[in-house]
Amino acid sequence: MSGTLFIVATPIGNLDDLSPRAREALGAVDLIAAEDTRRTGRLLSHFGVKTPQFALHEHNENAACDKLLGRLGAGESVALVSDAGTPLISDPGYRLVRAAHEQGIAVVTIPGPSAVTAALSAAGLPTDRFCFEGFLPARQAARRARLAELAGETRTMVFFEAVHRIRACVDDLAEIMGAKREAFLARELTKLHEQCVRGSLGELAAGLASGAIPGKGEFVLVVAGAAGGAGPGVDIDRLLGDLAAQLPAREAARIAARATGLGRNALYRRLLELAGD
């Protein structure tokens, strides 16, 4: 009889957010598969959990997976945790969970904190539909290309961003999606220096530039979807082409920006690109 793989969410800052069920599972399993055993060790010792750990991170995922599946197959139970929050959400574990299902091993989730849902729930932006974009590409050209693809997305968007890129990322967002687009920046959620700022992308960019929002800690950015019906189905290039056939390029970009809610400068640049093709 195979053991059970438990997927256990852990706090994203405040240790009191570990659920009693998560605490119980961590103490009861044979083995805890952790992204960083030193970091998880601190959590376990805080809660007096003595269960042995096994490292599973992105650099050893294949080999670690095989070993864990062997132990699960032999009837042991394993809890998968990540450094913070919910495993697999921009964290390792996908291969293990998938393989466990393929091998008929029971997978049980013990839900709890995630920076995604924590930020989204406090953002005051529509939550009936949203998309999680995780981390944007690190290189500016690739990041801007991805943001241009997302400019017409009508669902609320959730992004993770690394501390050293948050300013550049919000600047790019303001330029490509429009400085007036509503957004919410969550910094250091559930921690001592928690700061949540709601405002337009332009205001958030200014706050980061002035230091009113310190460039320190961990960030989640929630951005309102495009208004005005510029959904994924709208062909922006075609709209721009039609307008530019009748109007000077700057005027075409201005009207397209009003119709779609996208940034006027980004649309103007796109028009120039189209003209160069």
In the complex, which residues of this chain contact ligand SAM (CB under 6 A)? 12-13, 82, 84-86, 89-91, 114-116, 160-162, 186, 188-191, 218-220
Core vs surface per residue 92-103: b (16+ CB within 10 A) or e = bbebbbebbeee
Question: 51 vs 195, which CB is nearer to ligand SAM?
Answer: 195
Task: Pick between residue 163 and residue 209 the one whose CB is nearest to ligand SAM.
Answer: 163
Residue whose CB is less far from ligand SAM, 37 or 90: 90
Q: How far is the CB of 217 from ligand SAM (least distance, A)?
A: 7
Q: Whose Cβ is closer to ligand SAM: residue 82's or residue 260's? A: 82
What is the Cα–Cα distance from 40 to 54, expressed in whole angstroms?
Answer: 10
Quickly list H helices, the chain: 20-28, 37-46, 61-73, 94-102, 115-122, 140-150, 166-177, 201-210, 236-246, 249-260, 264-276
CB of 87 to ligand SAM, least distance (A): 7
Q: Minimum CB separation from ligand SAM for residue 189, in Å?
A: 3
**Alpha-carbon distance 223 to 185, whole Å?**
9
Closest residue to bound ligand SAM by CB:
85
Question: What count of other Cβ atoms lies within 10 Å of the Cβ of residue 214?
Answer: 13
C-alpha to C-alpha distance for 74 and 38, rounded to whole angstroms: 27
Separation in Å, CA 264 to CA 34, 40, 170, 180, 192: 46, 47, 16, 11, 39
* Residue where the block lists tokens 């974009």: 133
CB of 94 to ligand SAM, least distance (A): 12
> C-beta of 69: minimal distance to ligand SAM in Å?
22
Closest CB 220 distance from ligand SAM, rounded Å: 4
User: For the chain, what is the radius of gyration of the CA atoms?
Assistant: 22
Cβ-based nearer residue to ligand SAM, 91 or 172: 91
Smaller CB separation from ligand SAM, 149 or 194: 194
